[in-house]
Amino acid sequence: MHHFTYRDGALHAEGVNLVDLAAHVGTPFYCYSTATLERHYRVFADAFGGRDTLICYSIKANSNLSVIKTLAQQGAGMDVVSEGELRRALAAGVPPSRIVFSGVGKTRDEMAHALQAGIYGFNVESEAEARALSAVAQEQGRTARIAFRINPDVDARTHAKISTGKAEDKFGVPWNDAAALYALAADLPGLEPCGVHMHIGSQITDLEPFERAFKLLSDLVGDLRTAGHTIDFVNLGGGLGVPYRGTDDIPPHPDDYARVVERAAGALDCRLLFEPGRMIAGNAGILVFRVLYLKHGDQKRFTIVDAGMNDLIRPTLYDAHHDIWAVDEARGQEPALVQDIVGPVCETGDFLARDRALPPFREGDLGAVMTAGAYGAVQASSYNSRLLVPEVIVRGDEYAIARARPSYEDMLAAEHIAPWLTPRKAMGRA
């Protein structure tokens, strides 16, 4: 569910008319719905009502400070994968005790910053990382709470580029190495191995891979406790999919997911951590574009718009489908035409949709790429020296620019010409 609906002939974000918003902000721009963010968090949290849980929103899905703050006010913790994301969480007022640090390549400086901040714990992904974290914790005289991320070699049945739980993926430690690694960590100074972590992938729409992975994790917790380890939390990761194809693509409800968790981990008597990202932010955002030109090729109809692959790379990178709506309700009700929606970037791969039956857009029309709140703005770039897209957040009939579009002057000021490329005045004799 989301809060983007037609009113009085125009698409609205909650109570904000997107035609008016486009006139004020300019296109293209991202727009996020506070009501949708809050609802998705509450639906997930309520699915585990009565349980001791810590729901850590995965910042990599959408790292806008207003989005983070909105979720923090609902009680969310944060899952971070870099010092930058950690700093964002802290800047948004997230208590350090509600932050977990993931990722295969944490640097020692990042570890030190996180330890100084006093975060809840680290998801450790290799023996080398465990040894490095031990050394950093010793230097600071602190103890790092850790959970090894276990790779269960379970196929999540999702896109290859967002699968993380198979043996050939870079994430986590092999299942068969877990016992030895926990024994090592228990002997390393500065480490407290007190949790187990697992995350098998993203945009998962079938609960069966979760069922298999969580059963393996539950068995591992039992083995570790038998070996004398105190395991007081289990981090089950994230991964629940979102409906990119409207009503034709409905993923499992969090209530169904919670029943899978209960069957596998309900008897573990420990705190449950989760790291949902896309499930919370995906449907809460859209990318609004304006049509520049119509072009009729020998074999295709091209609708050229002002948003490109540098603004939303998911269709090019992941072969992703996003529904595309006309902002003008009447335009959306006209007979559809098969077309490619393409951007101005100088790449053949610059497209938002290919061979799709979509509204018969005309020059100047506004369109909305739906379900763009996750892995949209965070993956945007300034390729072709295009300015980054602004981000707007709405609440009811209010809106605020959460990240402004930079100017060309801002873009140029971030770089410097090497001094030997600058002409110097010739030194003459007096």
**Binding site listing for substrate:** 278, 314, 318, 347, 375
Residue-by-residue DSSP string for 163-179: B-SSTTSSSSEEGGGHH
For residue 39, what are the CA distances in angstroms to 3, 35, 44, 92?
Answer: 10, 6, 9, 20
3-state secondary structure 226-285: HCCCCCCEEECCCCECCCCCHHHCCCCCHHHHHHHHHHHHCCCCCEEEECCCHHHHHHHE
Q: What are phi and psi of 261, to 5 degrees?
A: -60, -45
Q: CB under 8 Å to 84, separation ≥6 — which residues?
A: none
Pairing between β-strand 121-124 and β-strand 144-151 as defined by DSSP bridges: parallel
Give the whole-angstrom CA distance, residue 223 versus residue 221. Answer: 5
Number of other residues whose CB lies within 10 A of the CB of residue 260: 19
Number of other residues whose CB lies within 10 A of the CB of residue 73: 13
Beta bridge partners of 401: 392
Considering only CA atoms, which of 223, 228, 217 is closest in space to residue 148? Answer: 217
What residue has token string 């998801």?
Answer: 123
Q: Is 392 in contact with 14 (CB distance < 8 Å)? A: no
Q: Is 15 exposed, middle or buried (0-12, 13-18, 19+ CB in 10 A)?
A: middle
Diameter of the chain measured on Cα atoms: 90
Q: Is 223 in contact with 262 (CB distance < 8 Å)? A: no
270 catalytic residue (yes or no): no
Peptide bond into 406 cis (omega under 30): no
Q: Is 366 in contact with 19 (CB distance < 8 Å)? A: yes
Task: Indicate the helix (H) or strand (E) that contains 99.
Answer: strand 99-101
- Residue numbers in the known binding site are 239, 275-278, 314, 318, 347, 375
Q: Is 274 exposed, middle or buried (0-12, 13-18, 19+ CB in 10 A)?
A: buried
- Residue numbers in the known binding site for pyridoxal 5'-phosphate are 239, 275-278, 375
What residue has token string 């049509």?
Answer: 291
411 token code pair: 């873009």
Instruction: Point out the residues that are catalytic.
Output: 346
